Amino acid sequence: MMMMRGPLLIGVVIVMVLGLAVYMKLWTIDYQISSNETELIRQFDLANREAMDESAEWRLKFDVAEERANKCTKELKRVKESLGDKSGASISKRLEMLQKENINLLERVETLKQELEAEKMKCSMQRV
């Protein structure tokens, strides 16, 4: 039995030495790749971050649009419910009130646009 252990032990030692050699070769290859391609990996990382930022930006835009759509849907549902409960006179009164509010809001938007243009002119004059 002792005779069988000798060659077996030598075989195990040879396999371990070969395994260590393969491991060292793979480690040096990996080290060479990582040291030679650091710039490429950095550029990839920057591109990946930029893509993630853009994805987050589009997701935010989608969420805002979805929120607006849900708000409009709720408003439409509420208006439809109120239309079913009320007479034609109250509907026309509500429509007239909403039209007046819309006109007032449009006038306010126009005023704000004019104020914005005035501020832009003021800023451009300060730069010169």
List, for residues 2-44, the tens digit of each pLDDT value.
Answer: 567 778 889 899 999 999 999 988 888 776 666 667 777 788 8
Check residue 85 and give its pLDDT.
59
82 Cβ partners below 8 Å, 6+ apart?
94
How far is Cα 107 from Cα 94, in angstroms, rounded to an integer? Answer: 20
* Tens digits of residue pLDDT in 52-101: 999 999 999 999 999 999 999 999 888 888 776 556 677 788 889 999 99
SS3 label, residue 123? helix
Angle 109-113-116 from CA coordinates, rounded to 5°: 135
The count of other CB atoms within 10 Å of the CB of residue 94 is 14
Check residue 35 and give its pLDDT.
62
What predicted TM-score, i.e. pTM, was given to this entire model? 0.37
SS3 label, residue 86? coil
Contact between residue 75 and residue 83 where contact means Cβ atoms under 8 Å apart: no
Question: Is 80 exceeded by the pLDDT of residue 49?
Answer: yes
